[in-house]
Amino acid sequence: MIKRRVVAVSLLIALSASSAALFSSRVQAQQTDRAKQIGGKFMCMCSCNQVLTQCNHVGCTTSASMLKELDGWVARGDSETVITSAFVQEFGTKVYAEPPRSGLSLVAWSLPTVYLLLGTLLVIFVIWRWRSRALLRPASVAGRQSGVSAQDLERARRRVAQETED
């Protein structure tokens, strides 16, 4: 009877220990994933211009110490905002891997969209203009608006044809 109890208790302890180990390794894995995810938002400060989690320069002590700090904060359960401000306080705004979406940095984020929108509008306008031109005028008279007369342009073309060969 006593033997059975000992076995049962041992089993229970082993089970608890293994689940604790399992839980702890899962927590650790989650922490590692979180650290990796947050670390991907900062630059390594060794001037390699690489993201912190990707800096793999031989002997780079900067990324090693930054990652160690990050791991510590993540293990402590600090929020991303707290970690970000801690890094910014330590290294300045150049630690951001991507500009924050506020203040002047908003310009960096909005510019590509602005380019794309303005460019698209421009292309649509150009197409519309060229289409209306095709509808209004026959192709043969196109090009006569230039400051150079049609005869001069034709003469220049003939000259080019004579002067050049592929």
Binding site for other proteins (CB under 8 A): 40-41, 43, 47-51, 54-59, 64, 92-100, 103-105, 107-109, 111-112, 115-116, 119-120, 122-123, 126-127, 130-131, 133-134, 137, 139, 142-143, 145-148, 153, 156-157, 159-161, 163-166
Round to whole Å and give the CA distance between 72 and 57.
22
CA geometry: angle 6, 12, 16, nearest 5 deg: 145
Q: Closest distance between other proteins and the C-beta of residue 69, in Å?
A: 14
Q: Closest distance between other proteins and the C-beta of residue 151, in Å?
A: 13
- Do 50 and 44 meet the contact criterion of CB atoms below 8 Å apart? yes
Residue 10 or residue 28: which is nearer to other proteins going by CB? 28
Q: Closest distance between other proteins and the C-beta of residue 18, in Å?
A: 19
Nearest to 52 by CA among 107, 91, 109: 91
Residue 11 or residue 118: which is nearer to other proteins going by CB? 118
- Do 41 and 98 meet the contact criterion of CB atoms below 8 Å apart? yes
Q: Closest distance between other proteins and the C-beta of residue 75, in Å?
A: 15
Q: Closest distance between other proteins and the C-beta of residue 47, in Å?
A: 5
Cα separations in angstroms, 149 against 114, 152, 153: 39, 5, 6
Residue 3 or residue 89: which is nearer to other proteins going by CB? 89
Residue 2 or residue 135: which is nearer to other proteins going by CB? 135
Burial code (b: 16+ CB inside 10 Å, e: under 16) for 104-122 equals eeeeeeeeeeeeeeeeeee
Round to whole Å and give the CA distance between 32 and 67.
11
Residue 16 or residue 54: which is nearer to other proteins going by CB? 54
